Structures are given as structure tokens and as C-alpha cells.
A and B are shown apart, each in its own frame.
Chain A
Amino acid sequence: MAAININGRDHAVDVADDMPLLWFIRDHLQMTGTKFGCGAGLCGACTVHVDGQPVRACQTQVRDAAGRTITTIEGVAGRVAQAVQAAWQKLDVVQCGYCQSGQIMSAIGLLAQNARPTDADIDQAMYGNVCRCATYVRIRAAIHVAAKALA
């Protein structure tokens, strides 16, 4: 199988090819910033970027990730990512923080596509990311803050 490029580094795949990317990243590469929340594509805690698009790592088998470019929270960089992380910190969005890697990866994906999202755009793009602490009010606000910073 082709190597999987994660955060700019190629990793040989030495696991069953149907293993979800989530467990390959977490258990075999020991990169733990990407979280396990449901294992069923229902909560978004495991969101990573595959070729720049937000994707649920728990629903992506390693064979489908082979040859692709993966970015995780540990490797995310660039103007949009910086603006999103800075906005999250400025508004102290996090509570338990466990879902926030995924929230941030989805928010970066949204702002990369849509520079000035409305509340409705945000609700649509972030719908799949569950936060049990319900930091949603601040997630909305932080995305607006990041958008403003990028304008």
C-alpha cells in the first residue's frame, strides 16, 4: 500500500487496510490530538483534513487514505488555521476541550471555503461536530472573530 502523508511526513502502513485512519494515527503513530468520540461518524471529534477537506478519520479506512495528504491538529498551519486557533484562545471557547481539535479542523475547513460565513453557514458547516459542554455560542462567535481577522 502507498504511504500515507501526515503533516508532511510519509508513513508506511503496516496495519490491516480496513483499520480506520483514526486508530492508525492514534495507536500506531501515537499522535493523539485527533480524538475518538463515537467511532460512527456522528460527532466529528476525529475530524482531520484529507487533501484539505474536513473528513471523519473514524470513517476513513487507511487504504482510502493511502496516497493522500492528511493534516491533523498537530500539523495544521497557515493563515486560516492561525486565525481560528487565535480566535478560540481569545474567546476561551474550550471547556473540557476534547471535541475542540475536531471543531477547529471543521472551522478551518469552513473558513477556507467561505471567508464571511453567516450564523446559518456556521450552523450548517459545524452541524456534525458535537460538543457536550455546549460551547456552541462561543464557537459561532470565534468563527466570526477569525473571519474578521482574515478579512
Chain B
Amino acid sequence: MWTHSVHSPRRNASRRSFLRGSAAVAGGLVIGTYVDFGWRGALAATPQDPPAPNAFIRIAPDNTVTVLIKHLDKGQGVATGLTTIVADEVDADWAQMRAEFAPANAALYNNLLFGPVQATGGSSSVANSFDQLRKAAAAARAMIAAAAAQEWNVPASEITIAKGVVAHAASGKQASFGALADKAAGMPVPGEVRLKDPSDWIYIGKHVPRIDSVAKTTGTAQYALDIRRPGMLTAVVARAPRFGGVVKSFDASAKRAVNGVVEVVSIGSGVAVLARDTWSAIKGREALKVEWDDTKAEVRSSDTMLADYRKLASSPGLPAVRRGDAEAALKGAAKVIEAEFTFPYLAHAPMEPLNGTIEVKDDGSVELWAGSQFQTVEQATVAAVFGLKPAQVKINTVWAGGSFGRRATPNADYMLEMALIAKATGGKAPVHLVWTREDDIRGGRYRPMVLHKVRAGLDASGRIVGWEHRIVAQSFVVGTAFEARLVKNGVDYLAVEGAADLPYQIDNLAVDWHHASSPVTTLWWRSVGHTHTAQVVEVMIDTLAHEAGRDPVEFRLSMLANHPRHVAVLKLAAEQGGWGEKLPPGRGRGIAVHESFRSFVAMVADVTAKDGAIAVDRVVAAVDCGVAVNPDVIRAQVEGGIGYALGAALRNKITLTDGVVDQANFDSYEPLRISDMPAVEVHIIGSSAPPTGIGEPGVPPVGPAVSNAIFAATGKRLRSLPWDFSTLKGV
């Protein structure tokens, strides 16, 4: 059930692009492009490495069209998405399309929204690739047409291409891409290409099957964990039980105690046990005795840390936004609502634990196999360990079993471990580093623990007159290469996004950030700051609507005059979710809307309260993410985002006792299970706007929509996450 239509956007279809052909690889046509995207493009177009085959599209004599995927596909469907874009513009038959992960090469495969870095994240893959791939494909198409024209001695303008068939109507001649591939490779690369009018799209906005469905349902898709190299050893690492701890000493008698263990080496942050197989490595680690130096380690419990946060929140922090005079407005308000929201550390817990394989070659160069998400960072980090140039580190990107942010680290954490182990063992054998689930749950890089304190005031007519908002959280970008881009006036944008830029018309607004610090490592977790700011803003708005005696939808609409895309999704979700219907006692319906990654999502959630517990029955989502390249993948991402957010909101938290993580595996950190999953409807708004993010935007509205539904069902405000249902007893 979804609504979708694509209107013809008014766009300059013949934007100039700078295209460069390159040598054919294994026969056929190879197309690459340097595209001018303004200042970002200028950065991007600076080749940093020796030129490699600059290729996005490979048309082979066997008639396959292979798209080189510069992004990591960790389930979000980008391999299908990028292939769709090319297939459409080149007018291929879907059956001839193939996808292959591109090699690591920042000059060719940089993320055009990030600068000169090959990286996947921020729900940017389709957004940054859309025009780039359309132009590359249009050039390929023109070269195929030129080859056919020359072959048949007819004007190129008379050549038609449809579903992979190249034809000349007047002469009745036809050929496949494969038959023309070699000749096309010799054609001049057009300096200018004309892009299809959106009304001519054949795959974009329609249904194509996922390109990875067959491999992933037959056990043949290859993940990093499935890499097997001759003579490979498997490594597991004993890491400090407290964040910031380092190895003081260790007793390596495990090497003798456990059959199959080959070597035990320190890498500073931990001790690696290398064995013939994973089981022996795990057993070897159990037999290992390590003494840790906790001098610089976190030794607080999370309750203590939260109390420290609360103290910080009692005074103003660094200003993220100041509009009007919130303090004065609150003094003059008819009613002031004050609320605290807390959020725990969260582990990402992708199904495939972190792992990767490293091999040192005879010539000293290094090859990696991993679900590589920040190829450029990882290449540089590993190169530095071995004293190599980045280009001497070859990365084979493979399918990743989820990430949710975890595989994208500013310091390439587990790749660095791999490199240090390979270095410490002299590169004798390929090393496959495997994190166990316990390593993953206890290993940090969590969504930060966050405390929000908000005071909001209504005037006598029920209008919001002032909003004062303090956020206490760690930063994971301060001190990294990302700081320059993401920290403005001392404020980490990722800690306040979604709050500092809340869409509602509020004249007196003050949003502050307090920089909490701890050796506990933190990271972006699917939708980053929005994981907590959406909960706070949308639950507060619901609270204020209730206090003002206004309908939550009408209340929001009255403050969104300048935000038509918020309005559209809000109205669509309300309409499809049956907003305003009367529900039986014990049931409740809540709504929330949030923008993230330049996409807009509203959700209506239905819950049933029974015996002090809550069941989420249904979530109806309305989504505007610009041009919907693959509507079914978009629906899947929103379904998945709902489940991911719901699991965390229901019961996930990472807590510390004296600095040691209390949770370890899926019993103490239990993910959403099928029995928790509500029915989901996703409605996509037809749009001609450029495509924007979808991997993450389905997450933020879930918590507040359900929290507001719980209030509607029970009269209880559960602000903090995970929800504490104990307060519902007897309701």
C-alpha cells in the first residue's frame, strides 16, 4: 500500500559535464567521469592517487552491464539503487545488469557530498551518485549509439536504444550492447550529454528486483566473515574491560594450553590470539591472562555519569542557536512545561560482527577484505601502520551484514587492529580478525548517552512563546578529521541536529550543548543526533499541544507555515493513519514528524496498553525523500528503520558499573524480535526534488510517535528511552 507518482521536474537536462573515457578493461566500454559539482566537485576532482581505471560502468562483450558501486551495501540497497540509475539512463534490460563493488580510490570514487573521501554514510549514497551516474550512463549510451551508427553507416540520430537493444528502424538493423561494446569503447567520449526527461524513466520510480536477493537467499553472498585465504589465521583480541584501559602485562601460556592456537601478541589496546580456526582462537582467549592498566580508564558507573550530566544541564552551555530571548519569554509565559529526557548508550549490534582479513604481499603491499565503509580513512590508516602509500593498500569491499554506523569510524578502529596484528606477526600469514558478539556489545563506539533538559512556555492563547533546551552529550567528531566540517562555534552539530534546527515557528529559542567527556567511545548510530532530538522535540510538542488543549496535528500545522514538505508528510500520515478516529479504551494513537538527511518522515503509531505493558500494533509512515529511485527499497528502509528504532526504545541500553559494561550478548541486549514487530504501511510522496536520504530518516519519528500513542492510551508521559513500562502498572 503506497502512493507514488513522479512528475517531470523542470531541470536543465543538458548540464555540462566533463567526461573522460579510459582504457577498456577486459574488452568493451568503460566509462568514468569527472563531474563539476561546484566547490565540492572542485575538491573531489583533485586526483590524489595515481590514476586507476576511472570506471563506473563496464559494458562487456558478453552483453553484461556492470555498475561499479563506490559505496558499501550493508543492506540499505545501494547496489540496487545505483544499478537502477545506470540501467535507466543507458536503456539496458534489467536482466543484463550486474553490480560490483568499486576498489578504494578517493580520486575516482569519492562521496561528492563529503569532499575528497570515499565513504558511505549520512544517507548520502543515492543523493551524491544520482547525477554522476546518470551522466556517466548517458555518455555510455551515446558511445554505443555512435558505434552502431558507424557500423551500419547511418546517422547516429537515427539510432534508438531500448531495453538493451540497439536498432536502426529504416534499415531494420539491430544489435546488442555486447556486440557493440568493443567498438563503442573506441568512440569519442561526448563532452556534453543530454539526460533523459524523467517522464521517460523506465526503472527509476518503478519496481526492479533487488540485485542481491538471490545471492542472499541461497547462502552464496560473500561477506567479510566468509573470506578464506590460504594459510589464514583467525584472530580474536582480548580488550580492556574498561574504556581507556591498556595492556600492562599478559601471560601467553594460552599458546600451549589450547590446541590450534599459533601465536599471542600485544597490540597495546589489547592482546591478540591467533589460531587455526575461530573456535580455537576464542578458547585461547579464554585461557589468556591479561593485566590491565586502568590509569586513564573510565571507572564511573553510568548512573553517576548521568548525575554529572544533570548537574551540567542546570546551567547554560555552548549556544547552538539563540533566537529572540527565550529566558524573558519563559518568565512572561502563562504556563511553563519543564521536562528531562535521558537516553542510554546504545550498541549498533549489526548481525555480522566486525571482522576483516588482511594479507601482506611479497612486495610489502597490503590487501584487505572487509565491509569497508570509509575506504579512504581505512586505506590511509592501514598504510600508516606499514609505512606505505595509501595506494599500496588494496581494499576489497564486500557485502556487509549491517552497520547502522558501526563500520564507519573516524579512526578505522577494527581495521587498525587488523593492521597492528599483521604487523606484530610479521605478516607471515593472512589474518582474519573476528569480533565476537560480546566484543561488539562491550566494544564501545556507542550512540552517546544523552540528557536533555527543556523548558517551554505557552501564552494564554496556547501559542509557544519560548523554548529553552540544553543537551548534554559526548562528541565523537571533536579531535578527528570530521571536526572542521561538523563543529561550528565550538558546538558539535551532530549533538544538536534536529533540535537546533527544529522546524516550528518559535520566536524565542535557545538551544545549548554541554560537551560531556569520557573515555567511553561513541559514534554515529543510525540517524545520529536525531535518535534523541526527535524524541525530545516531538514529545514536547505533543505535551504542549495537550496543555494548550489543541489537536496535535493541528497544533503542529499552525507552526509549519514555511515547511511545506513537513506539512505534506504530516497530513498524509494523519490521513492514512486514521487520525481523529475514536479508539476503544486501552488503545492510543500518536503522531510525530521529523526531517533528517534532507528527507521528511511522519508517522502515526497505534498502541495497546494492557497489564502494564505496551504492544505497538501498527505504524503508518509518510515519506518524502525526493525522487524515489527504488520505491520498494525505500519502503524496506522505512520498515527496517521502524524496527531498529523500536527495538532500542523497547529495551536496549548499555550501562556501566564501575566502568565495566553490564551487557554482553543478545540476552542482556536483546534486539527487536519478530513478535515485537508492528504492521507497517509506508506511503511515499511523489516528488521531483533531488533524491535525499532514506537509510536513516525512518528512525527518528518512531520513538516520539509511539511515546505519544502511549500517552494517548494511558495518560502517562514516557519521555526517556528505553521506555520504563513499570510506571504504567495499574493504569
Total A residues in contact with B, Cβ cutoff 8 Å? 55
Which residues of A11-50 are within 8 A (CB) of B?
15-16, 19-20, 23, 26-28, 30, 32-40, 42-43, 45
- Please state if B218 and A33 are interface contacts (CB–CB under 8 Å): yes
- Please state if A45 and B667 are interface contacts (CB–CB under 8 Å): no
Closest to B225 in A: A36
Q: Does A114 contact B (CB under 8 A)?
A: no
Q: Does B74 contact A (CB under 8 A)?
A: yes
- Please state if A132 and B644 are interface contacts (CB–CB under 8 Å): yes
| Cα-based distance from A123 to B670 in the complex (angstroms) | 16
CB distance from B80 to the nearest CB of A (A): 9
- Please state if A95 and B667 are interface contacts (CB–CB under 8 Å): no
Closest to B283 in A: A16
| Cα-based distance from A71 to B192 in the complex (angstroms) | 56
CB distance from A149 to the nearest CB of B (A): 15
| Cα-based distance from A20 to B665 in the complex (angstroms) | 18
| Cα-based distance from A100 to B639 in the complex (angstroms) | 16
Proximity bits, A106-137, B CB within 8 Å = 1, else 0: 00000000000000001110110111111111
| Cα-based distance from A92 to B636 in the complex (angstroms) | 9
- Please state if B674 and A129 are interface contacts (CB–CB under 8 Å): yes
Q: Does B46 contact A (CB under 8 A)?
A: no
- Please state if B666 and A43 are interface contacts (CB–CB under 8 Å): yes
- Please state if A140 and B674 are interface contacts (CB–CB under 8 Å): yes
CB distance from A33 to the nearest CB of B (A): 2
Contacting residues, chain B, for A15 (C-beta < 8 A): 277, 279
Proximity bits, B396-422, A CB within 8 Å = 1, else 0: 000111111000000000000000000
CB distance from A39 to the nearest CB of B (A): 6
Proximity bits, A74-92, B CB within 8 Å = 1, else 0: 1000000000010011001
Closest to A100 in B: B216
- Please state if A127 and B666 are interface contacts (CB–CB under 8 Å): no
The stretch among B137-145, B171-179, B675-683 that forms the contact with chain A is B675-683
- Please state if A94 and B216 are interface contacts (CB–CB under 8 Å): yes
- Please state if A73 and B219 are interface contacts (CB–CB under 8 Å): yes
The stretch among B59-67, B349-357, B536-544 that forms the contact with chain A is B349-357
Q: Does B375 contact A (CB under 8 A)?
A: no
Proximity bits, B214-231, A CB within 8 Å = 1, else 0: 111111111101101000
| Cα-based distance from A127 to B670 in the complex (angstroms) | 12
Q: Does B455 contact A (CB under 8 A)?
A: no
- Please state if A134 and B639 are interface contacts (CB–CB under 8 Å): yes
- Please state if A39 and B639 are interface contacts (CB–CB under 8 Å): no
The stretch among B13-21, B205-213, B292-300, B306-314 that forms the contact with chain A is B205-213
CB distance from A97 to the nearest CB of B (A): 3
- Given known contacts A30-B228, A133-B75, A89 and B674 CB-to-CB distance under 8 angstroms: no
**What interface size band does chain B fall in?**
35 or more
Q: Does B632 contact A (CB under 8 A)?
A: yes
| Cα-based distance from A138 to B219 in the complex (angstroms) | 19
Q: Does A4 contact B (CB under 8 A)?
A: no
Q: Does A70 contact B (CB under 8 A)?
A: no
Q: Does B535 contact A (CB under 8 A)?
A: no
- Please state if A96 and B639 are interface contacts (CB–CB under 8 Å): no
- Please state if B643 and A134 are interface contacts (CB–CB under 8 Å): yes
Contacting residues, chain B, for A138 (C-beta < 8 A): 636, 639
- Please state if A72 and B674 are interface contacts (CB–CB under 8 Å): no
Give the contacting residue for A94; candidates B217, B223, B278, B674; CB below 8 A. Answer: B217
Give the contacting residue for B213; candidates A32, A39, A88, A137; CB below 8 A. Answer: A88
Closest to B349 in A: A132
- Please state if A96 and B437 are interface contacts (CB–CB under 8 Å): no
- Given known contacts A43-B666, A127-B675, A135-B636, A98 and B352 CB-to-CB distance under 8 angstroms: yes
Contacting residues, chain B, for A136 (C-beta < 8 A): 643, 672-674, 677
Q: Does A139 contact B (CB under 8 A)?
A: yes
- Please state if A137 and B220 are interface contacts (CB–CB under 8 Å): no
| Cα-based distance from A141 to B644 in the complex (angstroms) | 19
CB distance from A1 to the nearest CB of B (A): 16
| Cα-based distance from A40 to B276 in the complex (angstroms) | 21
Give the contacting residue for B437; candidates A19, A26, A40; CB below 8 A. Answer: A40
- Given known contacts A27-B279, A32-B228, A40-B667, A92 and B213 CB-to-CB distance under 8 angstroms: yes
Q: Does B642 contact A (CB under 8 A)?
A: yes
- Please state if A95 and B436 are interface contacts (CB–CB under 8 Å): no
Q: Does B259 contact A (CB under 8 A)?
A: yes
Proximity bits, B641-673, A CB within 8 Å = 1, else 0: 111101100000000000000000111001111
Proximity bits, B426-439, A CB within 8 Å = 1, else 0: 00000000101100
- Please state if A132 and B402 are interface contacts (CB–CB under 8 Å): yes
Contacting residues, chain A, for B259 (C-beta < 8 A): 16
Q: Does B457 contact A (CB under 8 A)?
A: no
Contacting residues, chain B, for A26 (C-beta < 8 A): 278
- Please state if A97 and B674 are interface contacts (CB–CB under 8 Å): no
- Given known contacts A40-B437, A137-B680, A85 and B674 CB-to-CB distance under 8 angstroms: no
| Cα-based distance from A96 to B74 in the complex (angstroms) | 5
Q: Does A147 contact B (CB under 8 A)?
A: no
CB distance from B608 to the nearest CB of A (A): 15
| Cα-based distance from A126 to B350 in the complex (angstroms) | 19
- Please state if B640 and A135 are interface contacts (CB–CB under 8 Å): yes
Contacting residues, chain B, for A137 (C-beta < 8 A): 639, 643, 677, 679-680
Q: Does B234 contact A (CB under 8 A)?
A: yes
Q: Does B77 contact A (CB under 8 A)?
A: yes
| Cα-based distance from A139 to B672 in the complex (angstroms) | 14
| Cα-based distance from A33 to B214 in the complex (angstroms) | 13
CB distance from B439 to the nearest CB of A (A): 11
- Please state if B225 and A32 are interface contacts (CB–CB under 8 Å): yes
CB distance from B275 to the nearest CB of A (A): 10
CB distance from B209 to the nearest CB of A (A): 6
- Please state if B677 and A97 are interface contacts (CB–CB under 8 Å): no
Contacting residues, chain B, for A89 (C-beta < 8 A): 209, 213-214, 217
- Given known contacts A37-B437, A39-B437, A40-B667, A133 and B640 CB-to-CB distance under 8 angstroms: yes
- Please state if B218 and A85 are interface contacts (CB–CB under 8 Å): yes
Q: Does B110 contact A (CB under 8 A)?
A: no
- Please state if A95 and B640 are interface contacts (CB–CB under 8 Å): yes
Q: Does A65 contact B (CB under 8 A)?
A: no
CB distance from A117 to the nearest CB of B (A): 12
What are some 30 contacts across the A-B interface (CB < 8 A)? A27-B234, A27-B278, A35-B223, A35-B225, A35-B351, A36-B225, A36-B278, A38-B437, A39-B437, A43-B351, A74-B220, A85-B217, A89-B214, A93-B217, A95-B636, A97-B75, A97-B212, A97-B401, A98-B223, A104-B217, A130-B671, A131-B643, A132-B404, A134-B640, A134-B644, A134-B647, A134-B672, A134-B677, A139-B674, A140-B674
Nearest first, the 7 closest Cβ-Cβ pairs linking A and B are: A134-B643, A33-B219, A98-B401, A96-B75, A97-B216, A73-B219, A95-B75
Q: Apart from A36-B434, A98-B352, what are 18 other A-B pairs with CB-CB below 8 Å?
A: A16-B260, A23-B277, A37-B666, A42-B665, A42-B667, A43-B666, A89-B213, A94-B216, A96-B399, A97-B75, A123-B675, A131-B674, A133-B75, A133-B644, A134-B672, A135-B636, A136-B672, A137-B677
